[in-house]
């Protein structure tokens, strides 16, 4: 079944990018301000789900050839391996650290190891959410 909904498709083409940007913003801001990996991941996932809704599954699969199960797995791997990293460095499990770097465009930026963990969380959320929604919708056709 293919929904021929011109309004939804036209608008979603623009809105998806706004949502994606907002998702990335939420993800990056989530250290000392509201936001974070989980929320950012949810917003990112909602953008992808909107893509699935406005076009159809086949089209999205062609342009976005990702197995979301693996996305989730990479996410968990990333999140747990940051915890594992602290074992390598001989500090208590899940320790975090941060430092300030001078980056070309951004100027003085705070880079934290928590961000890696949060990236893992975000990837996990995106992967799990899209997998679940796809697994329900794929055979409902």
Name residue, tokens 């406005």.
Answer: 54
Q: Under the criterion CB under 8 A, does residue 84 sit at the interface with other proteins?
A: yes
Cβ contact 127:79 at 8 Å: no
Q: Under the criterion CB under 8 A, does residue 21 sit at the interface with other proteins?
A: no
Give min distance, CB of 53 to other proteins, in A.
18
Tell me which stretch binds other proteins (CB under 8 A): 5-13, 47-55, 57-65, 92-100.
92-100
In three-state secondary structure terms, 2 is coil
In three-state secondary structure terms, 102 is strand
Q: Under the criterion CB under 8 A, does residue 112 sit at the interface with other proteins?
A: no
Nearest to residue 118, comparing CAs of 15, 10, 60, 32? 32
Binding residues for other proteins (CB under 8 A): 32-34, 38, 69-70, 73, 76-77, 80-81, 83-84, 86-87, 90-96, 128-129, 132, 135-136, 139
């Amino acid at each position: 079944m293919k929904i021929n909904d011109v309004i939804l498709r036209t608008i979603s083409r623009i809105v998806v990018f706004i949502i994606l940007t907002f998702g990335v913003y939420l993800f990056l801001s989530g250290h000392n301000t509201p936001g974070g990996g989980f929320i950012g991941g949810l917003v990112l996932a909602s953008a992808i789900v909107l893509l699935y809704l406005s076009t159809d599954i086949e089209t999205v699969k062609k342009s976005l050839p990702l197995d979301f199960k693996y996305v989730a797995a990479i996410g968990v791997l990333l999140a747990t391996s940051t915890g594992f990293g602290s074992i390598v460095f001989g500090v208590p499990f899940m320790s975090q650290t941060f430092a300030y770097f001078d980056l070309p465009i951004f100027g003085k930026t705070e880079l934290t190891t928590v961000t890696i963990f949060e990236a893992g969380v975000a990837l996990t959320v995106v992967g799990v959410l899209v997998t679940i929604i796809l697994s329900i919708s794929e055979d409902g056709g």
